[in-house]
């Protein structure tokens, strides 16, 4: 099997080229082509034909195929369904704001975390993405849309901290001055709360924003919707967030999905404010995006406003997330599911 060249760091690429008897500086040239979205070695015009052929025999360049693309008529949000080399599919959502473009990336095919409200986890985890496959979502969304992406959020399909090594390698590639050169402050990583991995990430002292999917401040209701809470309960998770802040100096952001009758009680707002008290935190209230299979409903607008008011009265800053792309099902895992259901036995059907 040919090696996945785009998942290599510049240093690794330099070693590979040295093995092929090539000077080190070639690696930089190739790295630049790859991170610019070049799809074939044949197009790397500053390399000799012989080297291009040699590279093609040794390495593979990943190129995802767009199998579905939906553009919101309301706000220009673009949702891509990509097909990877092995036929599996993942989604990305490209959002346009006045301050630039953000992309929401997938880190895994499917998800093992089992959150009750989420479409991505319904068929379980199929496999983790390679660093190149995360990078490709950026490179090829830019290529297709002609837009420049200035912010990256790891908030699509999958649990990034369940794919820790590949996600960190992807971030290193994304950040590299000879590559996409995107600053860590323009990256957010969202997790359901795998505490040991949050602590490991904190030790790296990266300047990215950690976003924690909290969705409930009490163990009973959180465990009912998020199985991970049974392993790492709320207080342990919040301790890890405090540690994250103390090591990185970065304010932690909390996602809180408003689910009717499950997470929107006034007592939960008070408990949440109490537990976050004194912490450098920000709460993002997200109206649940109804997924047919889950049977859960979004909270009413009044309930959301009341919840926000209680938090603010207790000194916790909270915003209600603006819904982008609501006409194109632009939330986690829904496009992939719809595609799988419609095309049974199709390339990305994995029996989910
Ligand atoms: N696994 C990571 C990242 C992927 S999910 C995590 O759990 O954070 C991205 C965010 O969307 C999470 O906050 C997740 O809880 C939320 N989410 C999933 N399904 C949703 C739905 N149906 N409605 C609203 N938010 C949802």
Q: Which residues are catalytic?
A: 91, 332
Q: Do domains 3-60 and 92-333 have the same CATH topology?
A: no
Which two three-digit tokens encode residue 47? 């390399």
- 3-state class percentages of the chain: helix first, strand second, coil last, to nearest 5: 40, 20, 35
pLDDT range class, residue 305, cuts 50, 70, 90: very high
| 174-184 residue pLDDT tens | 999 999 999 99
- Residue 297 binned pLDDT confidence (cut-offs 50, 70, 90): very high
- Nearest atom of ligand 1 to the alpha carbon of 291: 22
CATH match for 3-60 among 3.30.300.30, 1.10.150.530, 3.40.190.10, 3.40.1160.10: 1.10.150.530
Domain ranges (residues) in the chain = 3-60, 92-333
Report how far residue 333's alpha carbon sits from residue 180's, in angstroms, rounded to the nearest whole number. 26
**For residue range 243-268, what is the model confidence (pLDDT) as tens digits?**
999 999 999 999 999 999 999 999 99
pLDDT of 292 reads 80
pTM: 0.93
The average pLDDT across 8-37 equals 97
Ligand 1 site residues (CB inside 6 A) read 113, 115, 117-118, 155, 159, 190-192, 213, 255, 257, 286, 288-289, 291, 331-332
Residue 331's pLDDT band, with cuts at 50, 70 and 90, is: low
For residue 201 the two structure tokens come to 């990430």
**SS3 (DSSP) at 1:** coil
pLDDT grade, residue 335 (50/70/90)? low
Quick: pLDDT tens for 138-163.
999 999 999 999 999 999 999 999 99
Cα–Cα distance between 68 and 87 in angstroms, integer? Answer: 14
If pLDDT is split at 50, 70 and 90, which confidence band does 294 have? confident
User: How much distance in Å is there from the Cα of 309 to the middle of ligand 1?
Assistant: 23
Q: How wide is the angle at C-alpha 255 spanned by C-alphas 121 and 318, nearest 5°? A: 160
Higher pLDDT residue, 69 or 330?
69
Topology at the third CATH level for domain 92-333? TIM Barrel (3.20.20)
Residue 208 CB contacts under 8 Å (≥ 6 apart), including other chains: 171, 184, 185, 187, 188, 189, 250
């Amino acid at each position: 099997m040919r090696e996945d060249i785009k998942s290599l760091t510049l240093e690794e690429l330099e070693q590979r080229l040295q093995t092929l008897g090539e000077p080190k500086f070639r690696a930089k040239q190739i790295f630049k082509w790859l991170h610019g979205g070049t799809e074939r070695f044949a197009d790397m015009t500053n390399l000799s034909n012989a080297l291009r052929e040699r590279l093609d025999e040794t390495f593979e360049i990943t190129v995802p195929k767009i199998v579905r693309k939906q553009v919101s008529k309301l706000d220009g949000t673009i949702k891509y369904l990509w097909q990877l080399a092995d036929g599996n599919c993942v989604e990305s959502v490209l959002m346009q704001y006045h301050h630039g473009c953000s992309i929401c990336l997938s880190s895994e095919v499917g998800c093992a975390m089992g959150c009750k409200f989420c479409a991505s986890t319904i068929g379980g985890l199929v496999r983790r993405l390679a660093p190149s496959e995360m990078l490709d979502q950026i490179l090829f969304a830019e290529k297709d849309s002609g837009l420049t992406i200035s912010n990256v959020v790891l908030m699509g399909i999958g649990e990034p901290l369940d794919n820790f090594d590949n996600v960190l390698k992807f971030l290193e590639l994304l950040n590299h001055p000879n590559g996409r050169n995107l600053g860590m402050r323009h990256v957010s990583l969202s997790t359901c709360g795998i505490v040991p991995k949050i602590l490991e990430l904190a030790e790296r002292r990266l300047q990215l924003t950690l976003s924690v999917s909290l969705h409930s401040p009490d163990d009973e209701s959180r465990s009912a919707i998020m199985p991970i809470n049974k392993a790492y309960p709320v207080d342990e998770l919040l301790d890890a967030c405090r540690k994250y802040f103390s090591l990185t100096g970065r304010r932690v952001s909390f996602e809180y999905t408003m689910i009717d009758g499950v997470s929107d009680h006034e007592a939960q707002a008070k408990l949440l404010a109490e537990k976050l008290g004194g912490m450098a935190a920000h709460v993002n209230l997200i109206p649940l995006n109804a997924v047919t299979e889950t049977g859960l409903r979004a909270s009413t607008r009044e309930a959301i406003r009341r919840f926000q008011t209680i938090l603010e009265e207790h000194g916790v800053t909270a915003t209600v997330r603006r819904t982008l792309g609501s006409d194109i099902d632009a939330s986690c895992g829904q496009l992939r599911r719809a595609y799988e259901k419609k095309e049974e036995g199709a390339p990305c059907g994995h029996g989910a």
